[in-house]
Structure 1
Amino acid sequence: MGGSHGDRRARSRPSRWSRRLALLAVGPLGLVALLAMVLLWPASTPAVEGERPVEVFGTVVAVEARTCPEPLPDDVNGCGAARVEADDGRSLTAPLPNGVGAPEVDVGDDVVMIRSSTPDGDVYSIVDQQRAAGLWVVAAAFVLALVAFGRWKGLTALAGLGVTFAVLLLFVVPAILAGESPVVVAIVGSAVIMVTVLYLTHGTGAAISVAVLGTLASLALTGVLSALAVTALHLTGVTDDLSASVGTSGQVNTQGLLLAGIVIGTLGVLDDITVTQAVTVEELVRANPRLSAREAYRAGSRVGRSHVASVVNTVILAYAGSSLPLLILVVSADSSWGGVLTDQVIAQEIVRSAVATIGLVAAVPVTTGLAALVATREAADGELAVAG
């Protein structure tokens, strides 16, 4: 029993190597990222140019349908009007919405309306359903499932998710709107997110410090490669009305915004790869402390190759799924496959996927090699206890 308690104490306290990595490597890098965030932090969030539509919330209390004088090409609710009781007590009338993506409305639905000013007075249009209550239910189910299964780890994962959203909404987006370089802002924000979330979620062991260093190295490589690819292929980042609107009304560098999106999107998979590799190597050495650094690296690399093979498919499918409507539109134009693949819409997604994949592939040898060196030194110093 004494040996068992000793093993648990050895596993729970930070080793000398974990403290060295945190103080000599991760610490300075984290401080640099934090200082860069302070320097790039905007004094205020710039307002987007252009008049913002006035939203009105209410409940449909009556639907007055009538026969359409001629068939509608995209009939959703048909012709007629809806009477809506606004949340401020007013009784408003709006035409029934039709067209692609128009919301289907019925009595009792909570809807969102837009007010438009015309020479004849204000006109209201129903543009969406209110779904706040449903989203709260989905969020509550997500939290319950995560905490019920992950327990304390689930709580720390939620805290890490909160940090991620805070950095994105309070720093990354305002800094880009303020005119800072999107790719620099993305790298700085990603570094702060990654350092904070990994330590918060997984603790301060040597394996996590190794994962942080591997992620930072791969993230920097991803940023450089994405900049080279986007510049060489003359991608502008403008592929739809939304990106064009952001570039015009927000005065945002859309090419830089594309680079920022690649960096931030890659981070979500990178930390999975690096943590898995670092912890896998540590467990291999813990199971067999006589392993050399070379043997630990080879064993960890075999795991890494399988992991990358599955994650790469995940990355490609994620990007393909997000751009599926655009892909269908381009292919349906009956163009040649050469023309389809070189179209900016598709080329942008190919670059996104290819650069992210290269970053993931690079993360495996970097993280595995560093983890093998640290884990074998810990074992040699007697600081890596055998799991009991």
Structure 2
Amino acid sequence: MKTFMSTAKALLYKKDFEWDKEITLQNFHPQLQIFLAINGIFFNNRESKIRFILPVLSTLITMVAVAFEMIFIWRGISTNDYGFATECFCYFFILGSVGIVYSSVLLNRLKVFKLLHNMNNDFIFICHLKAQYRDTFLTGQLLIWRLCWSWIIFISFVSLLYISNTLLYLLYQSTLATQDEHMIRPLIFPMWLPKDDPYRTPNYEVFLVLQAILIFVVLVTFGLYVYILFHLLLHYYNLMDVILIALEDLFKGLDESVVALPREDPRRQEVQDELNIRMAQIVRWHMSVFDSVNDISSVYGPTLVYQVMFSSIVICLMAYQVAEQLSEGKVDYLFGVLGIGACLQLWIPCYIGTLLRNKGFFVGDRCFYCGWHETPLSRLLRADLIIFIQRTQRPVAIKFTGLPHLQLETFSSIMSNAYSLFNMLRQYK
């Protein structure tokens, strides 16, 4: 156990990573390209037809599953079995996200290539700067690495919990249950078939395997989508930390006395050129943040709209299902854990959206307090500083048609709507 913990810690903190060699996006975050390849984005043979196999098969099987869930919802409502209908509603919305994730990524794959190319350039350029820039940037990237594994472990735990719960129940039936208990073999998700029994052989075996495949499909699409989204956004949040350092160093190490010299003087021109280079790099980084966040919003905008539109309903139904089970003296821990995941998948982009907005405004504040009032060198950059401060007043926001700016206020509003719907359902009962 101790060896396992030390190995896990070494992995999370990259203790075996060669920090002295050239660091790129691919060797620091190899998982990013692997997960995008699962979504149909190949980086070596970009036009390979093989990349469509998993997206097409996954979309087709989820479309069939969505059709089944619609039948189950109708069955639950028509028989007043609202617990069954509620559970099927949740699975209906979760499965519906698979096709949206695949289509939004594949249709915008050129923007994905552009994003990763720019991110790789950030790695190469910043890691060749002074230690302060490099250390700040790599510390942020190490945090992204640890968050990646934390999220992967969580979604894998939820997926395995569903499968293991069914298998353990099946094992109990096969070994310990008596014949007079009249137990029905469990499926991972409840089912109903018109004029047939889904729990008879071979229906049972077929549906059990298909349901396990569906869990895997959702895990590698929507589950990985959440990770890829927060990885991309946190990269540019981390880049703004580098901008803050660059603003602190804007006037450092330069001769202030050249301000009194004529414009044509070589010494003054040399300082002016150096200031222009430093300011140009800050502006390029700042523009890169805006352009890249807009590209990220374009790629994942449809999925984000889907999340925002239906999260309040899904969270409400999950809470309702757990409450109904508790009123009957049962604990639906599966739906409880799934409800936590439903809240997290919405909270993560909203929280990062707030971080980006606040950090963007903080960049403007840091520019205003970068020391321009303490040095005559500010006369050489007065117009640039004014324009830059004005640009920082535009918020860095995740935005898409039909999507409100993703911030914690959005999360609070959706959770409030979910609670209102929950109370309405409880009163209706």
Is the helix fraction higher in 1 or 2? 2
TM-score (norm 2): 0.29
TM-score, scaled relative to structure 1: 0.31
